[in-house]
Amino acid sequence: MTHPVLHIANKIIAHTDIEHGELISNLKLQKLLYYMQGYFIAVFGEPLFENEIEAWQYGPVVRDMYNHFKENGASSISLDETATIAELSDDEESLFNEVLNEYSQYSAIKLMNMTHEELPWVKTFSENPQGIISMDLMTEYFKTQIVG
């Protein structure tokens, strides 16, 4: 089942441990959305959200979310009390937490560098900077990243 990308972004931000110094910039959020989408497509055979992901200079970007949070600049994003957070099924919640635990430990720059070595961004950016990373390319790549 697909969810509004803003509700997924809010869920990622809500899981950020700001009290213990964890920060989530727009750059980091973009990379986490990319990894979420990739693993959800590979595991469930359908996207987590409908929005396209583009191959920008600094890695994968969901343009709508970039624009929504760009006023934060490089600062950490926080939610207000009115933010809607996606409610996931048990299986989706499990995968969401697994991906978040694996990738949120890295800095935005580390995540950017990781995406710059991965097929979906490399192939798309080399052919068309700011081009759309295809679902087929993401499926092909992320299926190789699933363990077990």
Q: Coil, helix or strand for 1? A: coil
| 148 occurs within a structural domain | no
Which range marks the domain in which residue 20 is found? Answer: 5-143
What integer pLDDT is reported at residue 16 of this predicted model?
Answer: 85
Q: What distance in Å separates the CA atoms of residue 73 and residue 84, rounded to the nearest whole number?
A: 22
| 139 occurs within a structural domain | yes
Identify whether the C-beta of residue 11 lies closer than 8 Å to the C-beta of residue 86: yes
Mean pLDDT in runs of 10 for the chain (148 residues)?
95 81 89 98 97 97 97 89 95 97 94 98 96 97 89
What integer pLDDT is reported at residue 147 of this predicted model?
Answer: 74
What integer pLDDT is reported at residue 21 of this predicted model?
Answer: 65
Predicted TM-score of the model (pTM):
0.95
What integer pLDDT is reported at residue 136 of this predicted model?
Answer: 96
In the chain, the number of structural domains is: 1
| 83 occurs within a structural domain | yes
| 69 occurs within a structural domain | yes
